[in-house]
């Protein structure tokens, strides 16, 4: 039987980490917006970043499970005025 290593503990802690998603309605992932806008990845990024800078969009950086792995995910929604 092998000894439990520091990496084993780290991997278990990472796997147990819960998703962190935005609360409330109206949030869309970057990929959803890219499909809707029908633009290339770089153009979508430019437009989303510009809208955040101008105060038109809110941005939430969180965690979601994709293909069984915990991944960083960014959500956007129109900012309430």
The answer to whether residue 66 is domain-embedded is yes
pLDDT at 17 over 80: no
- Structural domain for 50, as ranges: 25-78
Token code pair at residue 28: 């869309």
- Burial status of residue 76 (CB atoms within 10 A of its CB: 0-12, 13-18, 19 or more): buried
Beta bridge partners of 77: 58
Write out pLDDT tens, residues 54-70. 999 999 999 888 887 87
Give me the DSSP letters along the chain: -PPPPHHHHHHHHHHHPPPB---SS--EEHHHHHHHHT--HHHHHHHHHHHHHTTSEEEEEEEEEETTEEEEEEEEEEPP-
In a domain, 33, yes or no: yes
Residue 50 domain-assigned (yes or no): yes
Query: Does 46 fall in a domain?
Result: yes
Is the pTM higher than 0.85? no
């Amino acid at each position: 039987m092998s000894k439990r290593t520091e990496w084993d503990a780290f991997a278990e802690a990472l796997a147990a980490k819960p998703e962190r998603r935005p609360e409330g309605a109206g949030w869309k992932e970057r990929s959803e917006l890219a499909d809707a806008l029908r633009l290339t990845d770089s153009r979508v990024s430019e437009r989303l970043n510009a809208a955040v800078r101008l105060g038109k969009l809110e941005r939430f950086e969180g965690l979601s499970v994709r293909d069984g792995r915990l991944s960083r995910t960014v959500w956007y929604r129109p900012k309430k005025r």
